């Protein structure tokens, strides 16, 4: 019968149970019943021990007695509801009290459900199954919210970060580099003669070229360290934390070699492209007055323009310096 009651889409290992019970016999019975059903169980004797256990680990399911020394079940419920947790904590209050006013008091203290002692195994499992359903719905909602957040910061065509994310995260990267005295480099990458690709083959083919270009770049930079954002059209900004200008220039040259040596296969067409890059950055000794997201972008953009003027398919590097809008090419 228990196996039918315990059917769930998620394994029980995802729902460790904290049992809080001061009576040894009742505590042992609870633990044996739950372990036999497949739950992972940690048991403590009172609310104070429960606090210590929950400070060290997240327990999504808590079974707690009401009447206990040091800290009773109601105070434990209030503590759980008053602190941030990794996720929701579903609390079932165990007690011999069975009148309505006691039930209301327990629920108002923060308990989610109520189980009269001595408990019946089937009723216990039903209460926990209700808790698991609630926790699964919360987990699904979190995943959906995370997916929405990811969409909000990603470029829908290429999958790299978008300009909004660049505007949000670049100041954080700068702040981190300055705090720890690290270098930070930034490169603007632009596909050469991209308008010619769109005019010759059409925009759907141009989209495939952009997708391939981003794939090549992302496959060649450091995973979970460097990152790429679409700045607009065929321009992309590459952020290289803890990388000085010499290292950034070397990486940029390597990336351009990769790009120019590969084809984009679209149907019967084999399209070869090149790219240009402008690189800048700062180090521990760069004047603080020069360091800003706007100045980094402007300096890299000026270097990119130089690459274009010198024939494209090349990298131009210049350290961060005072750059005004009037210094930029039209």
Residue 71 burial (CB count, 10 A):
18
Tell which of 99, 116, 151 closes a domain: 151
Whether residue 15 is found in the same domain as residue 118: yes
Decide: 264 and 270 in contact? Cβ < 8 Å.
yes
Tell which of 119, 151, 183 closes a domain: 151
Whether residue 128 is found in the same domain as residue 168: no
- Model pLDDT, residue 322: 59
Whether residue 106 is found in the same domain as residue 180: no
Residue 184 burial (CB count, 10 A):
25
Q: How confident is the model at residue 161 (pLDDT cuts 50, 70, 90)?
A: very high
Task: Estimate the crossing angle of helix 73-81 against helix 47-56, to 10 degrees.
Answer: 30
CATH number of the structural domain spanning residue 66: 3.40.50.2300
Whether residue 174 is found in the same domain as residue 108: no
Q: Is this structure's pTM higher than 0.75?
A: no
Whether residue 190 is found in the same domain as residue 94: no
- Model pLDDT, residue 10: 64
- Model pLDDT, residue 147: 74
Which pair of structure tokens corresponds to residue 280?
């800048």
Q: Tell me the C-alpha distance between 62 and 93, whole Å.
A: 8
pLDDT (tens digit per residue) in 71-102: 888 999 999 998 888 889 999 998 887 677 87
Whether residue 108 is found in the same domain as residue 241: no
Which pair of structure tokens corresponds to residue 311?
């024939």
Beta-strand pair 61-65/41-44: unpaired
Q: Tell me the C-alpha distance between 215 and 301, whole Å.
A: 22
Q: How many residues does the chain have?
A: 330
Give catalytic residues, as residue numbers: 234
Whether residue 41 is found in the same domain as residue 140: yes
Q: How confident is the model at residue 247 (pLDDT cuts 50, 70, 90)?
A: very high
Q: How confident is the model at residue 323 (pLDDT cuts 50, 70, 90)?
A: low
The reply to whether 167 falls in a domain is yes
Q: Tell me the C-alpha distance between 250 and 271, whole Å.
A: 26
The reply to whether 156 falls in a domain is no
Decide: 283 and 321 in contact? Cβ < 8 Å.
no
Q: Tell me the C-alpha distance between 77 and 218, whole Å.
A: 48
The reply to whether 157 falls in a domain is no
| Residue 276 confidence (pLDDT) above 90 | yes
Whether residue 143 is found in the same domain as residue 237: no
| Residue 291 confidence (pLDDT) above 90 | yes
- Model pLDDT, residue 5: 34
Q: Which domain holds residue 73?
A: 2-151
Count: domains in the chain: 2
CATH number of the structural domain spanning residue 204: 3.30.70.270
pLDDT (tens digit per residue) in 99-142: 778 778 888 888 998 888 888 899 999 999 999 998 998 888 88
Whether residue 131 is found in the same domain as residue 45: yes
Decide: 279 and 245 in contact? Cβ < 8 Å.
yes
Which residues neighbour 330 within 8 Å (Cβ) at sequence distance 6 or greater? none
Whether residue 202 is found in the same domain as residue 306: yes
Whether residue 85 is found in the same domain as residue 193: no
- Model pLDDT, residue 292: 95
Which pair of structure tokens corresponds to residue 245?
């200008």
Decide: 128 and 17 in contact? Cβ < 8 Å.
yes
Beta-strand pair 61-65/90-95: parallel
pLDDT (tens digit per residue) in 29-79: 999 999 999 999 999 998 899 999 999 999 999 999 888 888 888 999 999
| Residue 165 confidence (pLDDT) above 60 | yes
DSSP secondary structure string for all residues of 110-132: T-SEEEESSPPHHHHHHHHHHHH
Whether residue 136 is found in the same domain as residue 167: no
The reply to whether 46 falls in a domain is yes
């Amino acid at each position: 019968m228990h196996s039918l009651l315990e059917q769930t889409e998620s394994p029980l290992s995802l729902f460790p149970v904290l049992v809080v019970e001061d009576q040894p016999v009742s505590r042992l019975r609870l633990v044996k019943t739950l372990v036999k059903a497949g739950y992972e169980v940690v048991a403590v004797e009172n609310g104070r021990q429960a606090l210590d256990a929950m400070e060290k680990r997240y327990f999504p399911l808590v079974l707690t007695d009401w009447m206990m020394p040091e800290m009773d079940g109601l105070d434990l419920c209030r503590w759980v509801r008053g602190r941030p947790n990794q996720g929701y904590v579903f609390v079932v209050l165990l007690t011999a009290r069975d009148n309505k006013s006691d039930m209301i008091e327990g629920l108002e203290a923060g308990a989610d459900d109520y189980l009269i002692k001595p408990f019946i195994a089937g009723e216990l499992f039903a209460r926990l199954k209700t808790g698991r359903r609630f926790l699964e719905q919360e987990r699904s909602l979190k995943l959906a919210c995370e997916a929405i957040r990811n969409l909000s910061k990603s470029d829908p065509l290429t999958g790299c970060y978008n300009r909004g994310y660049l505007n949000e995260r670049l100041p954080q990267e700068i702040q981190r580099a300055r705090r720890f005295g690290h270098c930070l480099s930034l490169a603007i990458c632009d596909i050469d003669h991209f308008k010619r690709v769109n005019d010759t083959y059409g925009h759907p083919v141009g989209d495939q070229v952009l997708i391939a270009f981003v794939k090549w770049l992302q496959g060649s930079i450091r995973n979970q360290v460097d990152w790429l954002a679409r700045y607009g059209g065929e321009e992309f900004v590459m952020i290289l934390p803890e990388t000085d200008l010499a290292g950034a220039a070397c990486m940029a040259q390597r990336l351009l070699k990769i790009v120019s040596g590969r084809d984009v296969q679209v149907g019967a067409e084999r399209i070869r492209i090149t790219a240009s890059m402008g690189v800048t950055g700062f180090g521990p000794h760069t004047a603080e007055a020069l360091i800003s997201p706007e100045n980094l972008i402007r300096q890299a953009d000026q270097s990119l323009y130089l690459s274009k003027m010198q024939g494209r398919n090349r990298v131009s590097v210049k350290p961060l310096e005072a750059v005004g809008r009037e210094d930029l090419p039209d």
